Amino acid sequence: MKARLLLLPAIAGLMLLGMAEKVPVTVRFYAEANAQDTDRFAMPIQFKNPPRGGFIEKIPTIHERLIRAIYPFQAPDGSWGCAFKLDDNGRINLEVMSTNLRGHSVVAFVGTKAGTHQVIDMQIDKPIRDGIISIPSGLTESEIAVLTHEYPIIGQQKKKK
């Protein structure tokens, strides 16, 4: 009888995992990894800037749950860009990544119901301490629409429900 009572919380926990809220948009930044890292920690990728093969970490350094607010803008090439204001955990992750991996690349992926794609890869040239990371171009209007629906826009009043 006691064994059954001990299993009850574990079963309830597993059931709740299946009911986790799905996020309508994913924004993930992956740091460049070493070629010597095994396939457990790194995955191959084709970098765009400059064009070359390489590896990125399997776990994103920054993801959508660390985003506090956004600032979308029109890019010169006609696509959209977006700045992401991170929470305290995201700010620390960004500062550590940008300090320790200076000279390496960070790759941004955005995903919606339409699919996930590699938006841009950027070289880390200096430490970022303000907690703001930006995708300068490559986002679509539909991705920006989903982002503005999910996150508050920097400088605007909160929406009334």
Which sign, positive or negative, has the C-alpha torsion 122, 126, 131, 137?
A: negative
Q: What are phi and psi of 143, to 5 degrees?
A: -65, -40
pLDDT grade for 11, boundaries at 50, 70 and 90 = low
- Mean pLDDT check: name the lowest of 7-21, 93-107, 128-142: 7-21
AA letter at 93: N
Extract the tokens encoding 3. Answer: 């064994």
Closest CA to 107 of 2, 27, 32: 32
User: With respect to CATH, is domain 22-150 assigned 3.40.50.720?
Assistant: no
* 72 HSE (CA, 13 A, CB side): 19
Q: Distance between CA 29 and CA 133 in Å, rounded? A: 9
pLDDT in tens, 119-156: 999 999 999 999 999 999 999 999 999 999 999 999 88
